[in-house]
Structure 1
Amino acid sequence: MNLVLWIAAGALATVALLGGVTKTFVPKKKLAAMHGGGWTAGVSVAFVRTLGILELFAAVGLILPAALGIVPVLVPVTAACWVVLMVGAALTHRRRGENALVLLNLAYLALAAFVAWGRF
């Protein structure tokens, strides 16, 4: 079970890292033109960058606390926060009619809920 939780946390951390780097460093105009990035056209640059930074923190929080044995309770807390983030992402994509992305968000949500449950 521990190995499965590590794999799930690693997969989520990878998703968070890629999303965080993209939202933090890719210009908003370019992001809005990307598949699934159309939602960024209706929000501020600061909001997109803030989400990106939060995703970078999530990538770190899903792995490092448990790997280093320093405040490992941060892993399930981070996973629970990721659940909340994915609810928001799913609602945003649903409102835009992007059903495939809603399903992807729900898959990430389920994975995060599993990590939160398993690590709590």
Structure 2
Amino acid sequence: MKRQFIVCARPGVSIPAIVRAKQKNLGPSALSESQRLLGIPDRHQLARNKQRKTMNTVLWIGQAVLSVAFLAAGSMKMARNRQQLMSTSASMAWAGDLPGGAIKAIGTLEVLGAIGLILPMALGIEPWLAPMSATGLALLMCGAGWVHLRRGEKSAVGAPLVLGTLALFIAVLRFGPYAA
């Protein structure tokens, strides 16, 4: 019989239980109970941890993409006046319908949302603000889509739809199973 040595990092927990389970071949339930007592994760828990880590990485990438997009769009709206925005591209023609202060407010909300997607979770300070920021950005994109549809600019609805869907995806998962 091959000898196996088990190292326990938890003081006060008896190691012989897991050794007896392996020697007597009591099956996975006895082994799992012993592993649980020792704090050793089973293969199902390891698979869940790997899936959670992968999904967390996907969410971080999505947050980074959203943050860059909204930081660029928001800073452009804050830095330029209404005429400059309208001359930028045909998709910015909506700026003629809104007062300059409203455009600056939208830009400010986009920049704050971009910051709120990253900083709270990265710093570990009030991480619930990240899904709140994603929710706010999703609502902002609903408004943007509505403005484009109302103006008859069906070709310009794609960007708000994609960004809003990504923001909603992040908000739902960060509020739910992948909350920090």
Q: What's the TM-score once normalised by structure 2's chain length?
A: 0.65
| 1:32 maps to 2:86 | yes
Calculate the TM-score normalised by the size of structure 1: 0.96
Matched length: 120
The equivalent residue for 2:57 is 3
Q: Could you tell me which of 60, 78, 85 is aligned with 2:115?
A: 60
Higher mean displacement: 80-89 or 101-110: 101-110
Q: Secondary structure at the match of 1:63?
A: helix
User: Runs of 4+ in structure 1 displaced over 3 angstroms?
Assistant: none
Indicate the structure (1 or 2) with the bigger Cα radius of gyration.
2
Larger RCO (alpha carbons 8 Å, 6+ apart): 1
| Alpha-carbon distance between aligned partners in 2 of 1:22 and 1:34, rounded to the nearest angstrom | 10
- Paired-residue identity, %: 38
Larger deviation, residues 32-41 vs 17-26: 32-41
Shift of 1:28: 1.3
- In the aligned structure 1, how far is the partner of 2:146 from the partner of 2:80? 23
Cα deviations by residue, 1:30-71 (Å, 9 ceiling, x for unpaired): 101222111111211111011111111011000000000000
Unaligned runs of 5+ in 1: none
Q: Encode CA deviations 1:75-105: one digit per residue, 9 max, x unaligned.
A: 0000011111010000111112222221221
> AA paired with 1:34?
T
Give the 3-state SS of the residue equivalent to 1:62 in structure 2: helix
| Cross-structure match for 2:47 | none
- Show the counterpart of 1:86: 141
Query: Whose helix proportion is higher, 1 or 2?
Result: 1
2:96 to 41, 61, 75: 41
Farther off after superposition, 31-40 or 79-88: 31-40
